[in-house]
Structure 1
């Protein structure tokens, strides 16, 4: 393991393990005062030893007790990933707030339907080194989106399925440090897409099932820095596909279930920089499959549920560079299957 990799090593721990013992920090403090503070190894060697361990709970519950030096090395260099699975009680919040490892937490995930009040997010705002937050499926709404938008240190945010509208999208668009955003399953519509399109620093965006139409697709197409886009299950149609096809920097695109048809497939086939494409549920047929088969740079293709027959299968079979292909649930008979399995 290289020194750089060791320094970026994330130590994983479940939040339940942190809060299981109500006297966790108090007991640790009592044991800590009995330790010998003499330094035998350098800090780098101590971290080297810690990096060989995969059990974060063991590290926090045991290695922090070895010496003051080990304690400080763990506190200053470890990167913790915490998942909240059960209800967040006031006692748990209090214990976590007192933890000397709050600034070691870089990634937090909440289970769905966990939060009962927006105020419970205060705990997360105190994690000053937090860069990644997953809060999917917690019904935080526009008010919660406003709360989250104040966390200016985040670079990755999953806020999917949270009953957020265009107003909430406006709050999220103010997070200029984000590079990855998953806002799928919210009702942001074209107006919300306009706000999101102003996030010029984003490189990865998931807006699957957000009621975006042609106008919204136009706004999104102006995000020239995006390399990954999931716009699955919206209402963009052929005109929307034309706008999306102008995003020449994209390498991964999911445009499934958007009623783009044969003409839309033609527009998408002009995206010569794409390496991964999901275009299922678009009724592109054999003619659309022919257009897609001209994308010789693709390595991954999902063209399932597209009314494609044997002719379409023959066209797709010519894409010898593919390493991943899903052509299931089409109208391919034995003849078409022979082309694919060659």
Structure 2
């Protein structure tokens, strides 16, 4: 059976959820072969084998910690030479889109980014993308070289499927071009909430929260649901919430199972970042807000009355 190369995001041996989702996507196309690089890469092999990887290619070279982007491309080029895959899949992120673009140039291959689905088709994998602020779905196929595809988080469910997971050390030749060097690191403050782009539930606040203190009710609901907190551009520009939490065309693109928009009008800039969410709920006191044209469920009301009641009910049912 044909093999599919999956690039794995991991930190100290802990595999991030979007990479496990990619293994499920890869199984639709062939046999998944995982590539995992960086410190702790070898510790990820067991998890990857338990989620369908028939082979796990590992490299823990120091270059992955010292340099940005280019060493990962070098590793992928080496892995493609070993595997001869029918496709290369990467979790979609800012860095991985650059990795994919550089890999496409090196291989002379077509690149498709931000896929929401990948399925088998005649002539190669068929990639589904949401375009024009998620107003249209496009089905595309790479016509030259090995398809290189980045896939959005939450595009598939994680599947535990036992496979061989045979570990192989990958020999990588570094030096594929100039690379930015890491000169310092600073630990990010830990909120205890899931990563915004990876979260299955996202609760966002907009101009309607009225100020930074208004995000308290948004955070409380997110915590009750075990979700991440997002913000509209208006709220971020006003300094009410960090830019890292912005959802939208100039922020992060999310596709959770549940998206709850609170006090957000639904401008096209925001919709572009969340319209592919599976279920969308909005709370807004303006019954004519454009967001209501998009949602599966809408509540016309004061978010400072609605959200505390919803949070209380959720916590009551959890207990």
TM-score, length of structure 1 as denominator length: 0.27
Bigger fraction of residues in strand: 2
TM-score normalised per structure 2? 0.29
When Rg is computed on C-alpha atoms for both structures, the one with the higher figure is 1
Larger relative contact order (Cα-Cα within 8 Å, sequence gap ≥ 6): 2
More helix by share: 1
